């Protein structure tokens, strides 16, 4: 892959490789994300995994920002607790601007992975490759029940914010719903890994048309229509792999709530 990287990214890869090789506490440097999935371009992030000697892990974690600073012009960095990954340091370098993720692990953590990374450097390449060969690699796909248990609560949240006049909040929920529910389900329909909205514009014109119906402008009627469309699209996608139990009263209750009434009439069918 290295020969195909844009020059800025390739130069940074070489700096990280050199930085890891100079530090005896660091066992290996791996790369994931677009580096292994393909589709890498000048807008791509760099996703690195730094494998640390077990005995030096605490020290490395305590000084990881200094390590990040040694790699180039670090503008900002913060750790990944917000995504449940405190081992991750999320960095912005520049100019020119470049997003870089540095995740620090020990070799034992290579037993369970969401993807097989590329090995960019290893002091003991045979050991690292053997660990990767033996790893359980599984992308965290969400079940039909996961979607059903959340979809109507999230859509109701958006409808409630719209009803109160908090349109930005409702529009934010629509964006969240596309990323967490509709995008993954559209990827599922196409037989791809459930990767949110990643590269949806590249993969699927039909999906673009569906998702565009859920994009609202700052207008109560537009938000109502987008929420209604989100419910309709969810029901259609739900039919691909129905959950064992569907939520009672939906979508009629939600659509009535959107209209501000108490009835239950809609052109959207209940599905499955």
Domain boundary among 137, 158, 186: 137
Same domain, 122 and 193: no
Q: Which long-range contacts (CB under 8 A, 24 or more apart) does 261-264 make?
A: none
Q: What is the DSSP letter of 92?
A: E
Residue 271 domain flag = no
User: Quick check: pTM over 0.75?
Assistant: yes
Residue 33 domain flag = yes
Residue 252 domain flag = yes
| pLDDT above 50 for 261 | no
Query: pLDDT tens digits for 28-37?
Result: 999 998 888 7
102: helix, coil or strand? strand
Q: What is the DSSP letter of 143?
A: P
**Tell me, what's the pLDDT at 202?**
78
What's the CATH code of the domain at 100? 3.30.460.10
How many domains, in total, are found in the chain? 2
Residue 270 domain flag = no
**Tell me, what's the pLDDT at 3?**
52
Q: Strand order of the sheet with strand 118-122?
A: 74-80, 85-93, 98-106, 46-52, 26-32, 118-122
Residue 174 domain flag = yes
Query: pLDDT tens digits for 218-256?
Result: 999 999 999 999 999 999 999 999 999 999 999 999 999
Same domain, 148 and 236: yes
Residue 185 domain flag = yes
Confidence of residue 269 (pLDDT cuts 50, 70, 90): very low
What's the CATH code of the domain at 205? 1.20.120.330
Question: Greater confidence, 25 or 3?
Answer: 25
Q: Give the dihedral of Cα atoms 12, 13, 15, 17; nearest 10 deg.
A: 170
Q: Average pLDDT of 33-42?
A: 83
| pLDDT above 50 for 265 | no
Same domain, 162 and 203: yes
Task: Dig out the tokens for 217 from the structure.
Answer: 């402008």
- Domain residues for 53? 2-137
**Tell me, what's the pLDDT at 196?**
82
| Crossing angle between the packed helical segments 144-164 and 167-177, to the nearest 10 degrees | 170
Same domain, 248 and 133: no
Cβ(9)–Cβ(44) under 8 Å? Answer: yes
Which residues partner with 119 through β-bridges?
A: 30
Same domain, 125 and 224: no
H-type alpha helices, the chain: 7-22, 34-37, 57-62, 64-70, 125-134, 144-164, 167-177, 183-189, 200-203, 205-212, 220-238, 252-259
| CB within 8 Å of 268: residues ≥ 6 apart | 228, 231, 232, 235, 251, 255
Say how far apart CA 90 and CA 79 lie, in whole Å. 6
Residue 149 domain flag = yes
64: helix, coil or strand? helix
Same domain, 21 and 107: yes
Same domain, 165 and 73: no
Length of the chain in residues, anyone?
272
Residue 109 domain flag = yes
Cis peptide before 123 (omega within 30 of 0): no
């Amino acid at each position: 892959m290295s020969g195909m990287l844009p020059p800025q990214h390739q130069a940074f890869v070489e700096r990280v490789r050199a930085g890891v090789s100079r530090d005896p506490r660091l066992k290996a440097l791996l790369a994931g994300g677009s580096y292994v999935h393909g589709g890498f371009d000048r807008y791509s992030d760099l996703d690195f995994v730094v494998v640390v000697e077990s005995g030096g892990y605490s020290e490395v974690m305590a000084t990881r920002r200094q390590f990040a600073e040694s790699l180039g012009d670090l503008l900002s960095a913060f750790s990944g607790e917000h995504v449940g990954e405190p081992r991750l340091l999320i960095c912005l370098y520049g100019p020119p601007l470049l997003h870089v993720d540095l995740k620090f692990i020990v070799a034992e953590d290579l037993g369970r992975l969401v993807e097989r990374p590329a090995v960019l450097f290893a002091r003991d390449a045979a050991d690292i490759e053997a660990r990767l060969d033996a790893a359980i690699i599984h992308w965290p796909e969400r079940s039909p029940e996961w979607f059903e248990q959340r979809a109507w609560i999230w859509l109701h949240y958006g409808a409630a914010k719209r009803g109160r006049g908090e349109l930005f909040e409702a529009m934010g929920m629509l964006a969240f719903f596309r990323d967490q529910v509709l995008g993954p389900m559209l990827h599922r329909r196409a037989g791809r890994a459930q990767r949110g909205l990643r590269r949806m514009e590249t993969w699927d014109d039909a999906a673009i048309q569906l998702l565009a119906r859920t994009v609202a402008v700052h207008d109560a009627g537009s938000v109502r229509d987008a929420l209604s469309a989100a419910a309709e699209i969810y029901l259609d996608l739900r039919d691909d792999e129905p959950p064992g139990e569907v939520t009672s009263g939906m979508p009629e209750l939600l659509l009535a709530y959107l209209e501000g009434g108490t009835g239950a009439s809609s052109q959207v069918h209940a599905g499955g």
